[in-house]
Every structure is written in structure tokens, then in C-alpha cells.
Amino acid sequence: MESFVIIRNYSEQDELKCQELVRDYVMHFAKKSFYAFCFREITLQFIVITWAILFIFLGVPLTFCSLTVPGCIFFIFIATYCSCYAKAVELMQTKPNQCLVAEAYEPFISRGKISNYRIYINEAPFEQSYKNKFRRKIIGTVSLKNHSALYNAGWIYRFAIDPNYSFHKIAEPMLNLITKNCHENGYSSLEVAISEFQEDERDFYDCMGFETRQIYHKQIIGNNLTLMKSQLSFDLHREVATYSKQS
């Protein structure tokens, strides 16, 4: 039996699975973020300041001060992990508005990672009795709401894809459906924000025609430990004009 994916509208029964998916997706970047922060200037400054406090004010020998390096690294790890977890909890508790989910139908007994599957919109051309032979799993979700600062713009949030699946293959039909719905509802643009660690997502949005609106730094611990984020914009009017020229 061949696996397949159905992209459909969100229902209340999907909320728990969507929350778990969002949590796992955000925490997927915790390890990458930690490694990046370890090689930043803030980490060296933190180690030097800790050494200075122990040696100058407490009189701890330099030999023992060197033992604080693992403690500083562990503190950076805890701060990074807690920051990612706080973001995950924030997204989990955010009530979805216009939401889509990608539901995978896979054989109950499967070997290894499934890479070959067909994608259907709204409904698959199979009988219910055939669908019951598969194990169902939510592997993608995306929500849309009105942008709080830009007029007549949509804001993409809670966009998460299971890391075990191809982000580009699952996200592209979901984003195309979101774009179609936004055009029908009269939106002028689509906006989304991504972090510096989402390289695959950045490549995906570039391929889909998104452009950088602004780059900013989000504070994690004061002004010293920050995360660079990019707000990307998609002009729906330009897309409509492109379709008109092609037709």
C-alpha cells in the first residue's frame, strides 16, 4: 500500500496533535541554536566575567576558576532550551484562526523513513474502508490571521512540519492553498517571520517568491543575547498580475 497525505481544513479534534507537532518543531531548533550561541562573543564574555568575579572578589584560584567553563556552557544550554520551550508553549496556546493541517496515511507496518507519497487536497479518491487500513498522523499545520500592524495583510503563524518529512514537499501545497484563500478574501500581502536558524525554510520562502521586508533582533537575555529574525512578505497583487499575463 502506498502512503499518501491529505491537506484539509483544521478541526477541533486536531488541536492536541497540532500542539505536539508545533512543540516538536520548535524544539527541533534548540540544539542548532545552542551550538550557534556557544561560538558567540556573549559566551566568552560570560566566562571571563565569571572568572573575574570568582578570582577577584572571592579569591578562588585560577585553576579552580577554569572549572566554571562547563558551568557557563551549561547555563547557555539551559537559557537556549528554556527560550525555545517558552516559544513552543506560546505557539501551542495560541488559538488557531484559519488553519490547515496535513494528515499522513501510512501503513501500520512500515520500514524506515517514508519518502514516497502522494498529496491530495481536501479529500483522497479512496473509499473509507481503504483509508481505515492506514495509520493516520498529523505531519503539518499552518494558521493565518490578520496582521496586527499592516493593513489588509495576512500573517502566517504556527507553521510547523514534522522534521521527519520534507518541508518543501509538504509546505508548498499548504502555502499555495493559503495564498489562494488570501486572494479570495481580498488580502494584499502575506507576511511571515523566520529565525536565522531556519535555513531550509528561508530557501523555501525564497523559491515561493517571498521578499525580505525587514531584519531585526529579538532579545533573549537583555541586549547581549539576541536572535536575528527576518520578516518576509509576499505581494498577492503581483502574483495576480503574473497570472493575468500568463493567461
Distance between CA atoms of residues 35 and 171, nearest Å: 27
Could you list the residue range(s) of the whole structural domain that residue 223 is in? 4-246
pLDDT band at 223 (very low <50, low <70, confident <90, very high): low
| Total-model pTM | 0.78
pLDDT band at 46 (very low <50, low <70, confident <90, very high): confident
Is the confidence at residue 156, as pLDDT, over 70? yes
Sign of CA dihedral 183, 186, 187, 188: positive
Average model confidence (pLDDT) across the chain = 82
* Cβ-contact 185, 204 below 8 angstroms: no
Is the confidence at residue 246, as pLDDT, over 50? no
pLDDT recorded at residue 240 = 46
A 10 A CB-CB count for 22 gives 25
pLDDT band at 224 (very low <50, low <70, confident <90, very high): low
* Cβ-contact 72, 54 below 8 angstroms: no
Whole-number Cα distances in Å, 141 to 21, 68, 223, 237: 8, 42, 33, 25
Is the confidence at residue 15, as pLDDT, over 80? yes
Total count of domains within the chain: 1
Cβ-based neighbours of 222, under 8 Å, separated by 6 or more: none
Q: What is the CATH number of the domain that holds 229?
A: 3.40.630.30
pLDDT recorded at residue 21 = 92
pLDDT in tens, 53-63: 877 777 777 77
Four-CA torsion 204, 210, 215, 221, nearest 10 degrees: -40
More confident residue, 100 or 97: 100
pLDDT in tens, 165-218: 888 889 999 999 999 888 888 888 899 998 888 888 889 999 988 998 888 877
Whole-number Cα distances in Å, 116 to 1, 27, 87, 111, 165: 11, 26, 32, 12, 10
Distance between CA atoms of residues 246 and 242, nearest Å: 6
